[in-house]
């Protein structure tokens, strides 16, 4: 993928998720203009699914985290919740977007 191309703008992005992804991008762009609030924006990975809680995940910022081989990066809903609580307890991404994946 080219550096300035977002996944939502590719022809292979699933149509059923496109409207939500575009709305999330618009919301993030509005937050970036905010000057009086501290905010955090979490973008989940492509493959978000039920699964066991491991408590382990990788962090990324604006770039899509790679998966293994051809598979997209993913995370269980339980581990996504752990990442959210970790960010609440120890803020590391104030006024930033971040992402997580296994």
- Give tens-digit pLDDT for 69-93: 877 789 999 999 999 999 999 999 9
- 92 within some domain: yes
For residue 1, the model assigns a pLDDT of 56
- Give tens-digit pLDDT for 30-54: 999 999 999 999 998 888 899 999 9
Range of the domain at 73: 7-101
Count of domains for the chain: 1
Asked whether the beta carbons of 31 and 24 are under 8 A apart, the reply is no
Query: Where are the extended beta strands (E) located within 19-84?
Result: 40-43, 47-49, 58-60, 74-76
Residue 89 φ/ψ, nearest 5 degrees: -75, -35
pTM above 0.75, yes or no: yes
- 49 within some domain: yes
For 27, the token pair is 């919301």
Max CA separation in the chain (angstroms): 42
CATH of the domain at 68: 3.40.50.720
- Give tens-digit pLDDT for 6-37: 888 999 888 998 999 999 999 999 999 999 99
- 2 within some domain: no
- 11 within some domain: yes
């Amino acid at each position: 993928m080219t550096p300035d191309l977002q996944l939502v703008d590719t022809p292979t992005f699933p149509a059923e998720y496109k409207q939500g992804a575009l709305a999330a991008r618009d919301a993030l762009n509005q937050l970036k203009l905010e000057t009086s609030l501290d905010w955090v924006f979490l973008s989940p990975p492509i493959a978000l699914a039920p699964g066991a809680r491991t408590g382990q995940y990788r962090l990324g910022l604006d770039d899509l985290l790679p998966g293994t081989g051809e598979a997209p990066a993913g995370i269980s809903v339980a581990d996504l919740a752990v990442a959210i609580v970790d960010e609440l307890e120890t803020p590391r991404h104030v006024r930033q977007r971040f992402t997580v994946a296994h």
